[in-house]
Structure 1
C-alpha cells in the first residue's frame, strides 16, 4: 500500500536518508549533487515554510520509498514561464535510488502521486517541468497522460513543460491497466 506523509525534518535519520536520495548519481536531475545534509535540510525547511509548496515522504507498506512535492505554479517554480489555469498543481517526484530496481515501480509511484493529487477536487491539471534531457521521465509522463506544452527556460535548466488533466490521466491509466503495464 502506498501512503504519503509530510517529511519530518526534525528527524536526523530521515534527513540523512533524504540527503542520500537527492545527492545520489541516479538523482542528477534533482540538481542537488553538491549539497551536504545541512543544505538539504534547509532546502526542505524552505519548502515546509512556503505557503504554496509542500514535500511528502512516500511510503510503500510503511517503508520510505519516494519523495513527492506539490506546489502552486502561480507562486512557485513556474512564475512568469507559462499561463497558469485555475486548478493547476505542480508536481515533482523522486523514487529512492536502488541497486535492485523493481520493474514497474516508478510507474506505480507516478500513478499513485497523480491519483493522490487528483483526489483533491480543486486539482484539475497537474503541471511538470522535467529537464529536456530527462527522456526517461518524459516517456513515463506520456504513458500516464501528460501532454507536452513546450520547452521553457528556467534559471537552473531547460525544461519541457507538460500538463495532465484528470481525464487524460484516467484514459492513460485505464489503458495501462488493460495492457497489464503497471506490474
Structure 2
C-alpha cells in the first residue's frame, strides 16, 4: 500500500497488509551496502513466554474506568488520554515497542503533542473520515465504509504488538493518525538492510488546515525523538514514503531524516528515509 497524504507535509502508509506475503519478482533492496535480512516472526511460544515473564515480575495494570464516549463523538482532554479498560490496549502497550501508550506528551514548537493508541469503538469514525479524504486515499488506499478502516486497525490491535496505531493529539485535539511499528519485524525488512529494533513511522495529517505549513515536519521530528528517547535499543527510525509523494519526502528531510535509498516494494517505489540516533543532533 503506497504512503500517505499527498497534500500534507508528510505521510507514509503501510508497505503491505500485515501478514501478507512478498510478491514474486520484487527487488530485495536497493541500498549499496545491502545485507541479507531475515523475515523475523515471533513464534506463539515466545510471545507467551514474554507474557509469563511480565506476570512473574508483577507487571500488572490497575483498573481503568470504562468507556463512556459515544461512537462518532471525538473525545477531548482527559477522556481521550485515558486508555480505558481495553485488553487490546494493554497488549499493544506491553509489547515490542516499549509501551507507546505510556510515552506521555512531548513539547513541540506547535504545542503539547501526545501519541494515544487507537481504540476502535471511540476513534473509528474519525479515522474513517480522514481515510476518505481524496488526498489521503490516493496513498493509503483505505477509503470506503467504516469496515475498511476497522479491518486495518484491528489487524494491528489484534496482532502481536509489532505495529501500534495511534491518534496524534495536539494541545488536546486529535489531528493526525500514526502507526509506530517494528520495521525489523515488518515485511519492509526484506527490502533493506534492517537492523534489530529499527522502528518505523507512518503518518497522515487529518485536517486540510494543518497541511502545507510545516506541521508535519515538526511532528515527525518530535515523534522520532520520542522513539529514540523511549526505545534505547533502537538506533534508527525509518520511513518509506512513496517517491511520488514529494511533500512527504521533503517533510522527512526537514525533520532530520536522511535519504538512504530507493527501494522497490510490492506496490510502490519508495524513498527509504532514516533518522540515526548518532546523527540526531546534527540533522
Alignment TM-score, normalising by the size of structure 1? 0.84
> Please, what is the CA RMSD of the aligned residues?
1.7
Q: Which residue of 2 aligns with 1:178?
A: none
Which ranges in structure 2 are unaligned for 5 or more consecutive residues? 1-111
1:65 corresponds in structure 2 to 175
Alpha-carbon separation, structure 1, partners of 2:146 and 2:202 = 20
- Aligned in 2, Cα 1:26/1:124: closer, same or farther, shift over 3 Å? same
Among 46, 68, 76, the alignment partner of 2:186 is 76
- Judge conservation of contact 1:90–1:127 (CA < 8 Å) in 2: yes
Give yes or no for the alignment of 1:151 onto 2:262. Answer: yes
Query: Which of 233, 237, 240 lines up with 1:126 in the alignment?
Result: 237
Distance in 2 between residues matched to 1:165 and 1:145, nearest whole Å: 9
Structure 1 residue 104 corresponds to structure 2 residue 219: no
Other structure's SS at 2:282 match = helix
1:50 Cα offset (Å): 2.3
> Which residue of 125, 128, 133 corresponds with 1:19?
128
The match for 1:43 among 133, 152, 156 is 152
User: How far apart, CA to CA, are the structure 1 residues paired with 2:212 and 2:172?
Assistant: 17
Q: Which has the higher contact order (CA 8 A, sep 6+)?
A: 2
Q: Kindly indicate whether the alpha-carbon contact (under 8 Å) linking 2:184 and 2:199 is maintained by their aligned counterparts in 1.
A: no
Cα distance in 2 for partners of 1:74, 1:42 equals 23
TM-score under structure 2 length normalisation: 0.56
Rg larger in structure: 2
Change (3 A) 1:100 1:81: closer
Normalized per residue, which structure has more strand?
Answer: 1
Following superposition, the deviation at residue 168 of structure 1 comes to: 2.7
Aligned residues: 169
